Amino acid sequence: MQKLLDMEFTARKIADILKGTVIGDDNVMVSRISKIEEGEKGSITFFANPKYTNYLYSTRASIVLVDNNFVSEYPLQPTLIKVENPYVALAILMEFYNNVKDNQGISELCFVAKNAKTADNVFIGAFTYISENVVIEKNVKIYPQVFVADNVEIKENTIIYPGVKIYSDTKIGKNCIIHAGTVIGSDGFGFAPDSNNNYVKIPQIGNVVIEDDVEIGANVTIDRATIGSTIIRRGVKLDNLIQVAHNVEIGENTVIAAQSGISGSTKLGKNMMVGGQVGFAGHLKVADGVKIGAQSGINSNVNQENEVLFGSPAFKLSEYKRSAAIFKNLPELRKQVLDLENQVRELKKIIENK
């Protein structure tokens, strides 16, 4: 059971937020979110998957979000709120909660440099450090124990969760979300061997630019560019535990699942979908709309838009499926080849004896 708000809300108020229609008691009150199978009085839940139909008729939740086309087969106890998409509606409701929470003001236990600029309605939590020449626009929320280095810009409505480290000169756009433990702007992995095979560090003097509406998961690392910028374009969504190396560019609305790694100077197109644990070699270009299956390895350019790839090294999914049908039978095929070799040897002996 999850706390929804620090105050109760009526079904009518929630329907107004979600632009939904109330079926039942407009005035029923809720203050918590629950799973449909664990619903209790005073909670709101949602019904979006037919396999949970039985729970819909047994739940004790006070309000259930349902699809606009839902028709009840049996009498229902909860009040219903009909919406276009119950799952999306729940997300909107939780976002509303985040926006109305009483997280405003600057904690006395944080440090803000005198020449840093903070707009109205900013929240900065305890033990956060805001360095010289930082610009923080309105409605930004920065949770405790965040470090923001010199010359960073954070635009309006962005949320930065605890423990994030943002190195100097980083630019972060509007409506971004950066989850706990992420490091933005650390040095790229740049070293040059000298004549004695010692590695000399190459200074990383670029920055990171994150455009609007980007969400970055927990414990992601995004390296600053050697020269120029590492760029995360508008609408990108990064899962937890992703490595983005120096001078990488990720195109608009591309989504990447956990534990993927992108080597230096690789350029990913827009509207891509990348599965978990995918590895990209450096200095590659991948076309728009490409989809890559989990644990694949990309070691050359992908020039065809909307290609679907799988494997390591990755190739077309259709070809991979045909190949998989073969290599899963390799033990039996090997046995057949060995048997044939034996038969050929026996035939040779027979022919030679004749």
Percent helix, strand and coil across the chain, each rounded to 5? Answer: 20, 30, 50
The torsion angles phi and psi of 31, rounded to 5 degrees, stand at -140, 5
How far apart (Å, rounded) are the C-alpha atoms in residues 79 and 25? 6
Structure confidence at residue 321 (pLDDT) = 73
Q: Between residues 101 and 254, which one has the greater pLDDT?
A: 254
Structure confidence at residue 219 (pLDDT) = 98
Q: How many CB atoms lie within 10 A of CB 245?
A: 21
Q: Which two tokens stand for residue 122?
A: 């900013």
Q: Between the CA of residue 172 and those of 52, 70, 84, 155, what are the distances in Å? A: 41, 42, 32, 6
Report, as residue numbers or ranges, the catalytic residues: 246
Contacts of 151 (CB under 8 A, 6+ apart): 132, 133, 134, 168, 169
How far apart (Å, rounded) are the C-alpha atoms in residues 267 and 250? 6
Structure confidence at residue 246 (pLDDT) = 98
How far apart (Å, rounded) are the C-alpha atoms in residues 270 and 214? 13
Structure confidence at residue 98 (pLDDT) = 66
CB neighbour burial string for 73-87, b if at least 16 within 10 angstroms, e if fewer: eeeeebbbbbbeebe
Structure confidence at residue 101 (pLDDT) = 60
Please give the average per-residue pLDDT across 318-331, as a whole number.
Answer: 76
* Predicted confidence band of residue 96 (pLDDT cuts 50, 70, 90): confident
How far apart (Å, rounded) are the C-alpha atoms in residues 80 and 70? 10
Q: Between residues 103 and 228, which one has the greater pLDDT?
A: 228
For all residues of the chain together, what is the average pLDDT? 92
How far apart (Å, rounded) are the C-alpha atoms in residues 165 and 184? 6
Structure confidence at residue 116 (pLDDT) = 97
Q: Which two tokens stand for residue 75?
A: 């009498």
Please give the average per-residue pLDDT across 278-285, as a whole number.
Answer: 96
* Predicted confidence band of residue 312 (pLDDT cuts 50, 70, 90): confident
* Predicted confidence band of residue 353 (pLDDT cuts 50, 70, 90): confident
How far apart (Å, rounded) are the C-alpha atoms in residues 321 and 87? 33
Whether 46 shows a pLDDT value over 90: the answer reads: yes
Q: Considering only 163-172, 254-263, 311-320, which range has the smallest mean pLDDT?
A: 311-320
How far apart (Å, rounded) are the C-alpha atoms in residues 47 and 39? 12
* Predicted confidence band of residue 208 (pLDDT cuts 50, 70, 90): very high
CATH 3.40.1390.10 given to domain 2-100:
yes
- Number of residues in the chain: 354
End-to-end CA distance of the chain: 86
Structure confidence at residue 350 (pLDDT) = 84
Q: Considering only 42-51, 66-75, 92-101, which range has the smallest mean pLDDT?
A: 92-101
Mean pLDDT comparison of 28-32, 36-40, 222-226, highest-scoring range: 222-226
Give the H/E segment covering residue 43.
strand 43-46
* Predicted confidence band of residue 102 (pLDDT cuts 50, 70, 90): low
pLDDT per residue over 123-181, tens digit each? 999 999 999 999 999 999 999 999 999 999 999 999 999 999 999 999 999 999 999 99
In the chain, the percentage of residues whose pLDDT exceeds 90 is 77
Structure confidence at residue 170 (pLDDT) = 98
Whether 3 shows a pLDDT value over 60: the answer reads: no
Structure confidence at residue 311 (pLDDT) = 87
Q: Where are the domains of the chain?
A: 2-100
Whether 341 shows a pLDDT value over 70: the answer reads: yes
Whether 99 shows a pLDDT value over 70: the answer reads: no
Query: Before 313, cis peptide (omega within 30)?
Result: yes
Please give the average per-residue pLDDT across 295-318, as a whole number.
Answer: 90
* Predicted confidence band of residue 346 (pLDDT cuts 50, 70, 90): confident
